[in-house]
């Protein structure tokens, strides 16, 4: 694939909650219990952003910040479900397993999976996509209410290493835009970054 000069992105991201089992993860809907079987079961579809900034970190995780204008019931419901901590939860300590995976804290009940459809290469008919596991930072949802400007609620994703392989089925990917195939984020990794062919 030749190098290309690209601008912009697709402006689309899907979020699912993850439920951690004894030796695997399962995709669930916003309530944290009902299985997610199709793309429409996503806990949040984000599509009103001015910019998406995926930033690989030195430790191997991924942080993503959205320059976001979406502020409806879907976003607030999502933030209330995955990014709010009680006073007791906020004091729970984190610790690092021998394998290097961060554990403890409140992350176990707030894990999310995000798939981001990014820049399009028209010469190759492919999109640059990110698939990642992590949490939504509790500072997300902050905004400035000003009469002469649009509200822009913050949204920040902080990547976490997986404890098990995470298999992403094709049914939870956007097959209208992409030529989908099963993806796997391997144990001990945080994210995948791939060029994916446009749907035929």
Q: How confident is the model at residue 125 (pLDDT cuts 50, 70, 90)?
A: very high
H/E segment holding residue 112: strand 112-121
Cβ-Cβ contacts under 8 Å for 131 (sequence gap 6 or more): 113, 114, 115, 116, 168, 183, 185, 191, 192, 194
Binning pLDDT at 50, 70 and 90, where does residue 7 land? confident
- Distance separating alpha carbons of residues 39 and 81, to the nearest angstrom: 19
- Give the Cα separation of 111 and 18 in Å (integer): 5
Average pLDDT over residues 176-193: 97
Kindly tell me if the per-residue pLDDT of 168 is higher than 70: yes
The pLDDT of residue 17 is above 70: yes
Residue 165 has pLDDT above 60, yes or no: yes
Contact at 8 Å (CB) between 160 and 132? no
């Amino acid at each position: 694939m030749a190098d290309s000069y690209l601008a912009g992105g697709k402006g689309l991201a899907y979020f699912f909650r993850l439920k951690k089992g004894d030796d695997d993860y399962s995709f669930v809907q916003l309530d944290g219990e009902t299985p997610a079987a199709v793309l429409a079961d996503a806990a949040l579809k984000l599509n009103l952003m001015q910019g998406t900034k995926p930033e690989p970190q030195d430790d191997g995780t991924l942080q993503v910040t959205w320059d976001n204008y979406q502020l409806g019931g879907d976003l607030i419901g999502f933030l209330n479900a995955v990014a709010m901590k009680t006073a007791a939860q906020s004091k729970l300590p984190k610790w690092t397993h021998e394998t290097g995976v961060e554990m403890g804290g409140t992350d176990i009940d707030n894990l999310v999976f995000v798939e981001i459809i990014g820049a399009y290469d028209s010469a190759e008919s492919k999109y640059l996509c990110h698939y990642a596991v992590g949490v939504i930072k509790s500072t997300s949802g902050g905004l400035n209410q000003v009469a002469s400007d649009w509200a822009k609620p913050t949204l920040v994703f902080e990547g976490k290493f997986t404890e098990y392989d995470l298999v992403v089925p094709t049914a939870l990917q956007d097959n209208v835009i992409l030529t989908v195939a099963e993806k796997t984020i391997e144990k001990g990794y945080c994210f995948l970054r791939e060029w994916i062919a446009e749907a035929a």
